[in-house]
Amino acid sequence: MTQTVPVPQGLPMDRDAGPFDPPSDITRLREARPVSPMVFPDGHEGWLVTGYDAVRKVMADTRFSSRQDIGIIHVPYPTPGMPEQTEPSPQMPGLFISMDPPDHTRLRRMLTGAFTVKRMKQLEEGIVEIVQRQLDEMARLTPPIDLVKEFALPVPSLVICELLGVPYADRETFQSNSSKFMEKDVKLEDKMAAFGAMVGYLGELVTRKRAEPDEDMLSDLARNDDLTVEELTGIAFLLLLAGHETTANMLSLGTFALLENPSQAAELRADPDLMPGAVEELMRYLSVADIFFRYATEDIELGGETIPEGSTVVVSLLAANRDPQRFENPDTLDVHRTARGHLAFGHGIHQCLGQQLARIEMRAGFEGLLRRFPTLKLAIPADEVKLRTDMNIYGVHELPVTWTEAAG
């Protein structure tokens, strides 16, 4: 293995190769040393894994503990986005994304029934309706508008609120608090305060649901006496956050990518049957939930390197999904591609629980948007779009768009 690239000091985050491509330092590293040592901002050493095969192995191997990872949430590390200690983090009740078996198994099992493909299919009609309503509202506005505010964020927020039984009217409270976890540069105290506010709000909500269950997923879970109120709160927190931040960013960054690749968008408009495959390709190409942390519970051989016990291991799903050893012309968006096997929903025991729901939302969302707004285009130059390089889930902060005519 050649070792011609320097060991990264911190995680390369600068999107110097363009808004959709991995940082060029990450690409260089993957070509030269797909399992590489790295130095964290606090000076301790860890490992950065960027090659497809190695990333997949990490995600599949439970000797790489998730207790270092607060997953897509990255609850407060003192150094932005980076763990400081090399000890496993304390567990938060219910937050099973950062648990290992058997705790993870016990909690995930209680939710799998609620997230089956069949259950999600039953929700499809309601999701299509939510998308249509949002598009109707958008069509009544005078462009230019911000697509994030008017479409990409409301759709998944409405869907997850309805599914869980969280009043949509409370969204400002949980959205402003949740974006504080997702921000890398927020002070620890502020993250803790936002976390406290969110846990307080959800704790009250699940307590009410336990006392007076309704027709929603949190009520179903609250009926189960095997779950404590603290666990219910943690589960609600995880689902609410994971359920809207990720999908919202896929909808907005995905639209940006389609507008920048007009021939691909035109093909999708002409043949909606391409949509399911196109959604997988957009997932692969954009990998908005990119960086995940693991913790080596013993010495582990990986890609010709030995990862010592106690190491923090960082994987880049975006780098893996752009690995030319796995996908031909990986940096090209191609809606005809078979992107099966991409890792954008993770892999192994923590593979995304909400993936079917997310797929339904994205298919309905992109399909509706392309059909209703055939002349949709960016309202500002592409290089002025504000990228979420400061957030744990990548995407755009705003997407100003315009159109000449909306279809009825």
- Residues at the site binding ligand HEM, with contacts judged by CB under 6 A: 59, 66, 69, 71, 96-97, 108, 160, 238-239, 242-243, 246-247, 250, 288-289, 292, 344-346, 350, 352-354, 357-358
CA distance 275 to 361: 12
Smallest distance, ligand HEM to C-beta of residue 251, A: 8
41 three-state secondary structure:
coil
Residue placing its CB nearer to ligand HEM in the complex, 178 or 246: 246
Residue placing its CB nearer to ligand HEM in the complex, 242 or 302: 242
Residue placing its CB nearer to ligand HEM in the complex, 8 or 234: 234
Residue placing its CB nearer to ligand HEM in the complex, 217 or 403: 217
8 Å CB contact between 45 and 38: yes
Q: Residue 82 pairs with which residues in a beta bridge? A: 79
Smallest distance, ligand HEM to C-beta of residue 404, A: 30
Structure tokens at 74: 């990255």
Q: Which amino acid is at 10?
A: G
262, with CB counted inside 10 A (0-12, 13-18, 19+), is: exposed
CA distance 141 to 119: 34
Smallest distance, ligand HEM to C-beta of residue 349, A: 6
CA distance 35 to 326: 16
The upper half-sphere exposure of residue 277, i.e. CA atoms within 13 Å in the direction of its Cβ, equals 14
Residue placing its CB nearer to ligand HEM in the complex, 71 or 80: 71
Structure tokens at 117: 């493909």
**Strand locations in 308-395 (E):** 312-316, 377-378
CA distance 94 to 229: 9
Residue placing its CB nearer to ligand HEM in the complex, 6 or 101: 101
Smallest distance, ligand HEM to C-beta of residue 150, A: 19
Q: Which amino acid is at 135?
A: L
8 Å CB contact between 218 and 224: no
Smallest distance, ligand HEM to C-beta of residue 71, A: 4
Smallest distance, ligand HEM to C-beta of residue 354, A: 2
CA distance 157 to 96: 21
By beta carbon distance, the residue nearest ligand HEM is 354
Smallest distance, ligand HEM to C-beta of residue 27, A: 20
Angle, vertex CA 132, rays to CA 129 and CA 133, nearest 5: 85
CA distance 377 to 403: 6
Smallest distance, ligand HEM to C-beta of residue 221, A: 12
**Strand locations in 130-286 (E):** 145-146
Residue placing its CB nearer to ligand HEM in the complex, 115 or 327: 115
CA distance 208 to 220: 13
Residue placing its CB nearer to ligand HEM in the complex, 108 or 184: 108
Residue placing its CB nearer to ligand HEM in the complex, 393 or 401: 393
Smallest distance, ligand HEM to C-beta of residue 1, A: 26
